């Protein structure tokens, strides 16, 4: 689950799972501070959903940023079947799409074919007497460009609706179609190396504890990673993973540093910071 801070990622997680276990509230800054894993069963299938924090809020240290990226990626190993990009109904500007493109390029390969655009705030459209189709007729060219890259897989959700099972059914319909059209899951060099390192951890535990199943070990390690225990520290200290994550963090930091436009006013050189506000959160 990715998107800018405050667009309703955690609320969408709650809608999907039919719970209130993901911390969601109307606030001026990111409510989700730590990556969180949720699980649910539907029609005989087990779903893992990862809610991620505001990595571009410019409030995380480089160390914390490294930990959160590794944590969130580990919780979806060997890779996500679906990448849900959450956007709040409203104006989607050229700056939004440019920053989104840059941030998604960090993922390697082609993440777009695994993506579904989730538009939150459908209740606002209902209040204004607009349909999703009418809204899409008025979006910016930048949004249309992004939507085309994602195969125009767009779903509108109302996270305030009390009967959220119907909202989940709509989401599931789009997920099911995408799964039918795609290869098993999205992966990248970093995910592949993390998967190898995580496999090493599993092998160590299985060798040490004879009366335990692989599924039990995986469940234990996932919980330990989410709680930032020794397993996460092992992965963060892994040589190959560390080298790859260093490059990702450099790109993240570059995206979060404000670009400066320089001009002249009355013969005086003036610099204006243009903050890039897109977040993977």
CA quadruple 12, 174, 179, 93: dihedral sign? negative
What pLDDT sits at residue 57? Answer: 55
Per-residue pLDDT tens digits for 57-87: 556 677 787 888 888 889 999 999 999 888 8
Backbone angles phi, psi at 139, to 5 degrees: -75, 165
- E-strand ranges in 201-253 read none
User: 3-state class of 90 per DSSP?
Assistant: coil
Query: Please, are residues 10 and 3 in contact by the beta-carbon 8 Å criterion?
Result: no
The model's pTM is: 0.79
> Can you tell me the distance from the alpha carbon of 112 to that of 114, in angstroms, rounded to the nearest whole number?
5
Ramachandran angles phi, psi of 45, nearest 5°: -110, 145
Per-residue pLDDT of 150-186, as tens digits, reads 999 999 998 887 777 788 888 888 888 888 887 788 8
pLDDT value of position 132: 93
Residues paired with 120 in a beta bridge: 88, 157
**3-class DSSP assignment, residue 273:** strand
By CB atoms closer than 10 A (0-12, 13-18, 19+), residue 256 is buried
pLDDT at 92: 77
When mean pLDDT is compared across 54-58, 95-99, 135-139, the lowest value belongs to 54-58
pLDDT of residue 264: 40
Please report the pLDDT score of residue 52 as a whole number. Answer: 79
- Which whole number is the average pLDDT over 21-47? 70
> Cα(first)–Cα(last) distance of the chain, in Å?
8
Domain boundaries, the chain: 1-281
Residue 264, burial from CB neighbour count under 10 angstroms (0-12, 13-18, 19+): exposed
Q: Looking at the domain that runs over 1-281, which CATH code has it been given?
A: 3.40.50.300
Q: Work out the average pLDDT over 131-156.
A: 91
Name the DSSP letter for residue 258.
Answer: P
Cβ distance 156 to 132 under 8 Å?
Answer: yes
Average pLDDT, the chain: 78
Compute the distance between CA of residue 22 and CA of residue 142 in angstroms, rounded to an integer: 31
H helix or E strand, kind and range, residue 85 = strand 83-88
């Amino acid at each position: 689950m990715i998107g800018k801070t405050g667009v309703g990622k955690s609320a969408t997680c709650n809608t999907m799972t039919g719970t209130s276990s993901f911390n969601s509230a109307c606030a001026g800054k990111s409510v989700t501070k730590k990556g969180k894993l949720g699980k649910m069963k539907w029609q005989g299938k087990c779903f893992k959903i990862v809610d991620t924090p505001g990595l571009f809020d410019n409030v995380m240290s480089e160390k914390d940023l490294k930990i959160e990226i590794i944590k969130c990626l580990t919780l979806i190993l060997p890779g996500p079947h679906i990448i849900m990009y959450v956007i709040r109904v409203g104006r989607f500007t050229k700056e939004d799409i440019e920053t989104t493109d840059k941030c998604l390029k960090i993922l390697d390969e082609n993440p777009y074919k695994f993506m579904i655009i989730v538009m939150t705030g459908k209740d606002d459209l209902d209040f204004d007497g607009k349909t999703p189709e009418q809204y899409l007729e008025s979006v910016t060219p930048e949004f249309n460009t992004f939507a085309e890259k994602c195969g125009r897989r767009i779903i509108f959700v109302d996270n305030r609706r009390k009967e959220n099972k119907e909202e989940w059914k709509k989401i599931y319909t789009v997920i099911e179609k995408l799964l039918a059209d795609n290869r098993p899951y999205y992966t990248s060099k970093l995910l592949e190396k993390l998967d190898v390192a995580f496999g090493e951890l599993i092998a160590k535990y299985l060798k040490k504890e004879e009366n335990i199943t692989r599924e039990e070990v995986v469940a234990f390690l996932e919980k330990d990673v989410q709680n930032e225990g020794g397993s996460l520290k092992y992965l963060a200290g892994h040589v190959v993973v560390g080298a790859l994550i260093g490059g990702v963090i450099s790109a993240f930091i570059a995206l979060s540093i404000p670009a400066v436009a320089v001009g002249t006013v009355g013969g005086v050189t003036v610099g204006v910071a243009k903050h890039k506000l897109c977040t993977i959160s």
